[in-house]
């Protein structure tokens, strides 16, 4: 296998882009390192946002651990369900995530369910939680896409645009290579390359733009849940376009239509309508107001008892 990755029109030629590193005899995939780093940064973003909005950061640490586990399971299940032909003859391969195979929408759906359940149990405001984790989620998607870069996956059809990416033919899955790509194969120094849309890069940059918008708008939001709706609307809008470029789409059985593209389009329509409606009517919707606020426990005064936990919560 050859490890070159080129962006010819940008003058970028990477001679050796491996998929993993070896530490003390253990092979660690870059995909896993990137996902792990994105999770840690996500925890930091969510807890800092919780402090800024006077919520209890510990709730997000507890919920984050549960959410990460459920999110990975959900992302894997989503991928497996719509790629069943890849796993039906080897069920144990379902548990092997070292070669990728995580669908973002499955992770988001699992995370949303986790928030609703956690908020219900803890009697917290679900819309407020969604707003607090929105930036952490889009950050994870922005960074996570670079795992696809190292795995040589989730790329688009042939292109000759400015950002065109060249991958060695023997470094990608044969099922992701289309006839159009094969008809435009270039042989450089004896190596056959396909030239494709770097859709991982498009999505990463799109998510970066959404993250900047959320950070800039968070102090101006009108109601709890608005940031999360903007995130869903913005991400779905980009995904409708980007998913149409990819050659490894998960298809709806019997219809042959990309499930992520259909889901993204539905999310854009639904969240767009919700944004317009809530913008005009949020004052009449009490569940969109902030939940209980958290006030950190002060240091114990000399000769006095520390206040009870319940006294640190106020409307």
- Residue stretches of the annotated binding site: 145
- Per the listing, tokens 């029109």 go with 9
Total Cβ atoms within 10 A of residue 293: 14
Residue 21's H or E segment, with its range, is: strand 20-23
8 Å CB contact between 278 and 221: no
Total Cβ atoms within 10 A of residue 205: 15
Instruction: Give residues with Cβ within 8 angstroms of 94, minimum separation 6.
Output: 76, 80, 87
- Per the listing, tokens 């042959």 go with 256
- Tell me how far CA of residue 218 lies from CA of 148, 212, 224, in angstroms: 30, 10, 10
Count of residues for the chain? Answer: 315
At 152, is the secondary structure helix, strand, or coil? Answer: coil
Residue 109's H or E segment, with its range, is: helix 104-122
152: left (phi over 0), alpha (psi -120 to 50) or beta: left
Say how far apart CA 40 and CA 33 lie, in whole Å. 11
Instruction: Give residues with Cβ within 8 angstroms of 270, minimum separation 6.
Output: none
Instruction: Give residues with Cβ within 8 angstroms of 297, minimum separation 6.
Output: 306, 307, 309, 312
């Amino acid at each position: 296998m050859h490890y070159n990755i080129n962006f010819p029109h940008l003058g970028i030629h990477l001679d050796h882009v491996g998929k993993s590193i070896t530490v003390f005899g253990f092979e660690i995939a870059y995909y896993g390192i990137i996902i792990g780093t994105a999770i840690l940064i996500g925890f930091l973003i969510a807890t800092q946002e919780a402090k800024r909005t006077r919520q209890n950061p510990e709730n997000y640490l507890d919920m984050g651990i549960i959410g990460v586990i459920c999110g990975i399971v959900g992302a894997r299940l989503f991928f497996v369900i719509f790629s069943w032909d890849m796993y039906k003859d080897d069920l144990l391969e379902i548990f092997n995530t070292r070669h990728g195979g995580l669908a973002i929408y499955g992770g988001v759906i699992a995370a949303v369910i986790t928030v609703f359940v956690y908020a219900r149990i803890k009697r917290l405001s679900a819309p407020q939680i969604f707003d607090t984790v929105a930036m952490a989620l889009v950050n994870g998607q922005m960074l996570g896409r670079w795992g696809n870069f190292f795995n040589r996956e989730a790329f688009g059809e042939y292109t000759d645009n400015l950002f065109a990416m060249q991958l060695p033919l023997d470094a990608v899955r044969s099922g992701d290579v289309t006839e159009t790509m094969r008809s435009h194969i270039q042989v450089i120094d004896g190596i056959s390359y396909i030239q494709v849309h770097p859709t991982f890069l498009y999505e990463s940059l799109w998510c970066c733009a959404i993250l900047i918008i959320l950070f800039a708008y968070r102090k101006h939001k009108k109601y709890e849940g608005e940031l999360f709706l903007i995130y869903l609307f913005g991400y779905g809008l980009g995904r409708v376009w980007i998913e149409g470029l990819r050659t490894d789409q998960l298809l709806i059985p019997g219809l042959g239509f990309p499930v992520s593209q259909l889901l993204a389009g539905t999310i854009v329509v639904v969240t767009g309508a919700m944004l317009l409606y809530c913008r005009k009517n949020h004052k009449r919707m009490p569940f969109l107001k902030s939940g209980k606020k958290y006030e950190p426990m002060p240091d114990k005064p000399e000769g006095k008892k520390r206040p009870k936990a319940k006294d640190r919560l106020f409307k």
